[in-house]
Amino acid sequence: MGTSTLPAVLTIAGSDSSGGAGIQADVKTIAAHGLFAECAITAITAQNTCGVRSIQNIDPAVVADQIDMVFEDIRPAAVKIGMVSSSAIIEKIAERLKRWGAQNIVVDPVMVATSGARLIDAGAQEALTLQLFPLATLITPNIPEAELLADTPIKDEKSQEQAARLLVQQYGCAMLVKGGHRVNEASDVLAYETSDGLQTTWFTHPRVDNPNTHGTGCTLSSAIACGLAQNLSLVDAVEAAKRYLTGALEAQLDLGQGSGPLDHMWRYRRGYC
């Protein structure tokens, strides 16, 4: 008779054949946090560290079934949403998450891969903001995504923070504007509503000198979902996720000919687990 349990985290995202981003990065991240990973695959991408060759979206009804089968049986304590490339898929995800009253939803608005390939069409972008953003606890745009969503340029810390504030007002949920695309720093700003009004918290870090950053956004958002699944506050969950991500970059894994993947299991190799 089983007596032990552990929180489950569901990732709803695309498959990356090279294992560095998407579902594969999420599952590794969740496992590295000692939690139970579940997944609903939205698309299969044929990609590697150099680029994306083809994308096959999954039938929206099959995406819905995956979510239902997960919630009917092993209910996740948190949900991470990554690549959702069609409006029909987004509609189904929103419908099923509402039906199940899913909580602790982290949305990484994946639009363009590090390699430059577009992963979402224009119609899907609108569906994402209209249907999934209202369900989110936290949204984690990078700088180009935040510029697009807030319709404002980001050139420095001040404009990064302003964009984060604007997006909270626009979408009514917490926003983490990630600074991985800035030159010297990799500092992210979290903006969120409290009973005292809109607050911001910075997570500052110098850039790790590592060209292998494939999957950083996927890894960070699923690590935040892990923190929320363990009942950390939003600020603590982001702080812990940033530490995990930085360690995975500092491990200096060097695989592939393009921007390679992170070392998701760095804590095991260093003997921390």
Ligand X SMILES: Nc1ncnc2c1ncn2[C@@H]1O[C@H](COP(=O)(O)OP(=O)(O)OP(=O)(O)O)[C@@H](O)[C@H]1O
Instruction: Give yes or no: 215 in active site.
Output: yes
Q: Is 217 in the site for ligand MP5 (CB under 6 A)?
A: yes
Among 86, 87, 114, 230, binds ligand MP5 (CB under 6 A): 114
270 vs 39: CA distance, rounded Å: 28
Minimum distance of ligand MP5 from residue 29's CB (angstroms): 13
Of positions 207, 239, 240, 265, contacts ligand X by CB under 6 A: 207
16 binds ligand MP5 (CB under 6 A): yes
Annotation marks residue 216 as catalytic: yes
Torsion of CA 219, 252, 182, 186, to 10 degrees: 60
Q: Which of ligand X, ligand MP5, none has residue 26 at its interface (CB below 5 to 8 Å by kind)?
A: none
Among 94, 218, 225, 226, binds ligand X (CB under 6 A): 218
Stretch that binds ligand MP5, among 71-79, 204-212, 216-224, 263-271 (CB under 6 A): 216-224
**Cβ closest to ligand X, residue 12 vs residue 67:** 12
Q: Please report whether residue 215 would count as binding ligand X according to CB under 6 A.
A: yes
Please give the residues from 161 up to 200 whose contact with ligand X meets the rule CB under 6 A: 178-181, 186, 188
Annotate the chain with three-state secondary structure. Answer: CCCCCCCEEEEEEEEECCCCCHHHHHHHHHHHCCCEEEEEEEEEEEEECCEEEEEEECCHHHHHHHHHHHHHHCCCCEEEECCCCCHHHHHHHHHHHHHCCCCCEEECCCCECCCCCECCCHHHHHHHHHHHHHHCCEECCEHHHHHHHHCCCCCCHHHHHHHHHHHHHHHCCEEEEECCCCCCECCEEEEEEECCEEEEEEECCECCCCCCCECHHHHHHHHHHHHHHCCCCHHHHHHHHHHHHHHHHHCCCCCCCCCCECCCCHHHHCCCC
Stretch that binds ligand X, among 33-41, 62-70, 79-87, 215-223 (CB under 6 A): 215-223
Our finding on whether 187 is near ligand MP5 (CB under 6 A) is: no
Is 3 marked active-site? no
- 216 scored as a contact of ligand X (CB under 6 A): yes
Is residue 218 a contact point for ligand MP5 (CB under 6 A)? yes
* Residues forming the site for ligand X (CB under 6 A): 21, 114, 142, 178-181, 186, 188, 205, 207-208, 210, 213, 215-218, 220, 242, 245-246, 249
Q: Which residues are catalytic?
A: 178, 213, 215-218
